[in-house]
Amino acid sequence: MPLFATQELSLAMKCLLCSMLRFCRRAVSSALGKDNEMKRYFSAYRRSCGGSAIDLWPLLVWLVLIGVAGRSLGAQSDAPPPSRNRAEFVGMWEGVCQDGKPLVLLMIGSISNEIEGTISLGNVNFGNSAGNRTGTCTATDPASRDHSMPIKNALVDGQKLTFESARGLKFEMVLTSGDSAALRFLSTPMEDAAFDIHKKSP
């Protein structure tokens, strides 16, 4: 907590204690017929607060403001940086088959804190789909920007981005480095295969 806030809190607690002691003094003095020893005991505390009456409302307001400010600063320091995660996905991504032809072209952008973009898929031969776990393929008709379609329902979860194509195909993209990621085709026979894609431009 900042020094000025600590000093304000210490002063507020001291004055609050003095006010409570004066209240107790009145109650005890009334019950004991204003006992002289009790009066001297509480008078010492009153002198330490300046001997003047204290309005508790400003003190309570200060205490509330200090508590709210502390919670607010704590929440800001603990909040995750979602915008940074989104920025890591933004750019033009390309995945190629072993024959060097594009399997997928993925353009990702971030507008108003939302992921938007397009995807183009080529006509590809995956060979034995059931046994293909390494993402091998041969492109019979490479992916082209001319056949791109919008993506939707994009959701960032840490280093993972899930989204759908306009035709309802579901994808999962997991960052493996600053400019590399693994792309999976969900709910398909190739779901367990991971295809390497690389960022071509920011």
Structure confidence at residue 32 as a pLDDT band (50, 70, 90):
very low
Return phi, psi of residue 57, to 5°. -60, -50
Span 104-160, pLDDT tens digits? 999 999 877 789 999 999 998 887 655 556 678 899 999 999 999 999 999 999 999
Domain check: are 26 and 69 in the same one? yes
Domain check: are 154 and 133 in the same one? yes
Domain check: are 95 and 67 in the same one? no
Return phi, psi of residue 43, to 5°. -65, -35
Structure confidence at residue 186 as a pLDDT band (50, 70, 90):
very high
Domain check: are 151 and 63 in the same one? no
Query: In angstroms, how far is the first alpha carbon of the chain from the final one?
Result: 41
For residue 91, what is the domain's CATH number? 2.40.128
CB 161 within 8 A of CB 155: yes
pLDDT at 114: 87
Domain check: are 74 and 87 in the same one? no
CB 114 within 8 A of CB 120: no
Span 153-164, pLDDT tens digits? 999 999 999 999
> pLDDT over 90 for what percent of the chain?
40
pLDDT over threshold 90, residue 196: yes
Domain check: are 87 and 165 in the same one? yes
Return phi, psi of residue 179, to 5°. -130, 20
How is residue 13 written in tokens? 């607690």
Q: Could you tell me the residue range of the domain that residue 62 belongs to?
A: 3-78
Structure confidence at residue 31 as a pLDDT band (50, 70, 90):
very low
Structure confidence at residue 4 as a pLDDT band (50, 70, 90):
very low
Domain check: are 119 and 174 in the same one? yes
CA–CA gap between residue 128 and residue 173 (Å, rounded): 23
Domain check: are 142 and 187 in the same one? yes
Domain check: are 31 and 64 in the same one? yes
Domain check: are 89 and 124 in the same one? yes
Q: Which of 78, 112, 138 is the last residue of a domain?
A: 78
Closest by CA to 121, choosing from 107, 94, 103, is 103
Domain check: are 24 and 119 in the same one? no
Q: Which of 78, 113, 137 is the last residue of a domain?
A: 78
Q: Mention every residue, 6+ apart, whose C-beta is less than 8 A from residue 40.
A: none
Domain check: are 100 and 21 in the same one? no
Number of domains in the chain: 2
The predicted model gives 60-82 an average pLDDT of 53
pLDDT at 144: 94
* Count of beta carbons in the 10 Å neighbourhood of residue 104: 23
Q: Which of 47, 78, 109 is the last residue of a domain?
A: 78
Q: Is the dihedral of CA 177, 178, 184, 186 positive or negative?
A: positive
DSSP state of 14: H
Structure confidence at residue 188 as a pLDDT band (50, 70, 90):
confident
Closest by CA to 190, choosing from 147, 135, 152, 150, is 135
Structure confidence at residue 7 as a pLDDT band (50, 70, 90):
low
Task: Choose the most confident range, by mean pLDDT, from 47-56, 74-83, 90-99.
Answer: 90-99
